[in-house]
Structure 1
Amino acid sequence: MNSSIILEVSGDYALFSRPEMKVERVSYDVITPSAARGLLEAIYWKPQIRWLIDQITVINPIQFTNIRRNEISKKASAPKAALVNAGGSDSLGIYVDQDRQQRASLLLRDVRYLIHASIHIIDRRMDKGGEKLPANAAAGKHLAMFKRRASRGQAFHQPYFGCREFPASFQLHEDESSWPTPHQSLAGEKDLGFMLHDIEFEQNKKTKAVKSTTPHFFRAQMIDGNITVPPLPFKI
């Protein structure tokens, strides 16, 4: 059974931050595979599956714009939360008027992509404690649920392009004849440099807490608007 989907996503702005830019936010030229996976998980996610991004098709020309955004200079920390829970006198609150700072951001504008993705089955049971299904049957059921949700515009939370203030619209494509084609300015081959592929999380086996994170990168090559994403370099 074919366990792949084609999802069109679009929006006015997008920000896929490059990790090498320490202070000001600068976006990659196109959506990253990890951001594409996040969009799919916003529509349909189960602990029994993992979305694998196979290809990204860029439809609109790559355009950048500069804006200044209000951010906060700190975040609530786990040690402080533990101190407060233990009866400490510190506060967990963050006061925006005291910790606000403006940062310049280099964003993408008027973005539109086709996400080509497939389902990897981690657990063949549809629910915890349920009967194990053949891998093809489990993939087919998850795929059917995703398609039903996507065709109705349903999502667990609003999909977004990198930051929550940049919402994404989505549309499911089941017929190849309905696919939009890349803009003529995207013809030819372009080296996009090293791009974040995904992040590997290592869990503590006893507590299930995240013990460490390892980012993985790949050399992105765009040919006529299409970027082929290599397989994940780590075990799921």
Structure 2
Amino acid sequence: MEHKNSVEFLVRGRYALFTDPLTKIGGEKFTYQVPTYQALKGIIESIYWKPTIQWYIDEVRIMNQIRTQSIGIRAPHYKDTKNDLSIYTYLKDVEYQVRAHFEWNENRPDLANDRNENKHWLIAKRMIEKGGRRDVFLGTRECQAEVEPCVFGESSSDYDNVDLSFGMMVHGITYADEAYNEETKGKMSVRLWNPVMKNGIIAFIRPEDCEIVRPIKKMTMKEFVNGVNFQSVENEEIN
């Protein structure tokens, strides 16, 4: 489903690491086969974000064949100067088409004066053309990525006419300022789901539609003051 204020972009990189949390126990990391909702949300937030809006990832299209590469990493100890050799397994030569849209963050009524839908949308599209406001990476900081505009569904994919199920995966994290019901207010929570790819496309469910949600810890919302740690969109240039 395409929304009025949706954006479409292509993101590509030499490596990606969407870490399966089950593999972190021994200090090693193994990637999921496909990006999580949270990883893609982090990408669009690196491109353009304001606390007034909340980004929702609608769909991702897997363009390149899913391949992995294992690399030895010397991970430093936390308590001394020694290090251990760990194996990180990355996705290699990835490319994704992404469709997303934003909605007002109803947890931020104090920023209601910043709700200029057209200007937020125009700035977001402009930032996609520029490659993002901040560094864009695929899962982890060492996996740098490039972003550019695209038409979702255009050009061929290695997974056209292919359907796959990926089992239980992390959908994303709900922070205190993104709470959608009483159970998620004042907390950080993790969401799980079962993604299915159809014709190379994964259609994401909304955070509130995830049936498996687990609280992690208590959390308070950050305060924003216009002119101090926040600038209204009305004071920004589209270009």
Is TM more than 0.5 here?
yes
Partner residue of 1:153?
Answer: 131
Once the two structures are superposed, residues 18-55 of structure 1 have per-residue CA deviations (whole angstroms, 9 ceiling, x without a partner) of: 01112220100011110000011111010001110111
Residue 66 of structure 1 contacts residue 104 of structure 1 at CA under 8 Å; is this kept in 2? yes
Name the SS for the 1:193 alignment partner.
Answer: coil
Q: How many angstroms does 1:104 deviate by?
A: 0.3
Name the SS for the 1:215 alignment partner.
Answer: strand
In the alignment of these two chains, the number of paired residues is 199
Residue 61 of structure 1 contacts residue 186 of structure 1 at CA under 8 Å; is this kept in 2? no
Partner residue of 2:98?
Answer: 115
Are residues 103 and 211 of structure 1, via their aligned partners in 2, closer, same or farther at CA, if it must alter by over 3 Å? farther
Q: How many angstroms does 1:71 deviate by?
A: 2.3
Q: How many angstroms does 1:211 deviate by?
A: 6.0
Q: Which has the higher contact order (CA 8 A, sep 6+)?
A: 1
Larger of the two Rg values belongs to structure: 1
Q: Distance in 1 between matches of 2:44 and 2:114?
A: 24
Q: How many angstroms does 1:234 deviate by?
A: 7.0
Q: Distance in 2 between matches of 1:211 and 1:69?
A: 37
Residue 9 of structure 1 contacts residue 168 of structure 1 at CA under 8 Å; is this kept in 2? yes
Q: Distance in 1 between matches of 2:208 and 2:196?
A: 17
Partner residue of 1:34?
Answer: 38
Are residues 99 and 44 of structure 1, via their aligned partners in 2, closer, same or farther at CA, if it must alter by over 3 Å? farther
- Which residue of 203, 206, 211 maps to 1:231? 206
Residue 97 of structure 2 contacts residue 152 of structure 2 at CA under 8 Å; is this kept in 1? no
Residues 1:101 and 2:101 aligned together = no
Residue 51 of structure 1 contacts residue 120 of structure 1 at CA under 8 Å; is this kept in 2? yes
TM-score by length of 2: 0.74
Range 11-20 or range 115-124, more displaced? 115-124
Are residues 55 and 176 of structure 1, via their aligned partners in 2, closer, same or farther at CA, if it must alter by over 3 Å? closer
Q: Distance in 1 between matches of 2:197 and 2:96?
A: 13
Once the two structures are superposed, residues 147-198 of structure 1 have per-residue CA deviations (whole angstroms, 9 ceiling, x without a partner) of: 111112242x21001111110101112x458x33211x55321111112111
Are residues 130 and 18 of structure 1, via their aligned partners in 2, closer, same or farther at CA, if it must alter by over 3 Å? closer
Q: CA RMSD in A?
A: 2.7
Moved over 6 A (4+): none
Name the SS for the 1:28 alignment partner.
Answer: coil
Q: How many angstroms does 1:70 deviate by?
A: 2.6
Partner residue of 1:167?
Answer: 144
TM-score by length of 1: 0.75
Q: Distance in 2 between matches of 1:153 and 1:189?
A: 31
Alignment of 1:3-22 (within 5 A): 3-21=5-23, 22=25
